[in-house]
Amino acid sequence: MESKQAITALAALAQETRLAIYRYLIQAGEAGVAAGQISESLHLPAATLSFHLKTLRQADLLLCAREGRSLLYRVNYAMMNQLVAYLLESCCSNPPTAFCLTDNLISTDDTNLSDKESFMSNNQAYNILFLCTGNSARSIMAESLAQHWGKGRFNAYSAGSNPTGEVNPLALELLERLKMPTEGLRSKSWSEFSAAGAPHMDFVITVCDNAANEVCPVWPGQPMTAHWGAPDPAAVQGERIDKMQAMREAFRILENRIKIFTSLSIQGLEKLKLKEKMDEIGNTHPQAES
């Protein structure tokens, strides 16, 4: 990639609305999204959206294809990888002890996996990272649940793109009441997991709520990824009983999904099938309590 091309791409992304569109389409994946859906999800007038989509396409950051009467927009992953590679191309000229991100970031996303390629782990246990925005409630509970239901098959972690710096007291209270593991739980940035010496992740799962227009973290690279959105109980206002009820509901949603996931026979399962199962799990909801 030439400097001029990189500058054009970075300039296109250096605007709040275009960056939000780009991040939204990354989360949507290879299937693509119609302009109308983007407009509705991000609350953008059609004319405004059209202008920003044109700018992103001119920078070669987006691809567009017609399906029936609709134009579907998706991220140009090849361009994204070239841009990241260009930004990091000198990192490996540092001393051997310096950390290089290239291997973690430049691979294509996991929706392109061969359906005949099996998912294997050289580790004694699979490493799984749960991401949300604040890392104070949902991802914290998911970490605890995966550690509990994983029964030694999983090492669970959690982090946030904008961590609050403290675990929500009600989340901690609920976990302790239900006798879930709480040792070592803390609110932290996802940057810890891209630092030298950080454990390699086999799975990365976002638990933020797209339905509430919450911007989810994006984790590019080689881990198997999925989105298991749940409403944010930490955002609930009102009486303590209302806040705890929201915390319980998020816990039930996450526990239901994690129990299904940790019961899968992962080793040897074809990657594409595993990806499909993970996406299916993200759409499951426990029955309402009577």
The Cα-based distances of 264 to 13, 79, 119, 153, 201 in angstroms read: 39, 35, 12, 11, 18
Is residue 132 annotated as a catalytic residue, yes or no? Answer: yes
Give the pTM: 0.61
- Look up the CATH number of domain 126-281: 3.40.50.2300
Q: At what angle do helices 3-13 and 77-88 cross, to 10 degrees?
A: 110
CATH code that applies to domain 3-78: 1.10.10.10
Is 64 noted as a catalytic residue in this protein?
no
- The beta strands (E) that lie in 28-145 are given as 33-34, 62-67, 70-75, 126-132
Q: What is the pLDDT along the chain (290 residues), one digit of tens a residue?
A: 788 888 999 999 999 999 999 988 887 777 788 988 898 888 889 899 999 999 999 999 999 888 777 889 988 878 887 887 777 655 444 433 333 333 343 333 444 445 455 565 555 789 999 999 899 999 999 999 999 999 999 999 999 988 999 999 999 999 999 999 999 999 999 888 877 788 889 999 999 886 656 666 666 566 888 999 999 999 999 999 999 999 999 999 999 999 999 998 887 678 888 888 999 999 887 766 54
Distance CA 27, CA 25 (A): 5
Q: Is 216 one of the catalytic residues?
A: yes
Every domain of the chain and the residues it spans: 3-78, 126-281
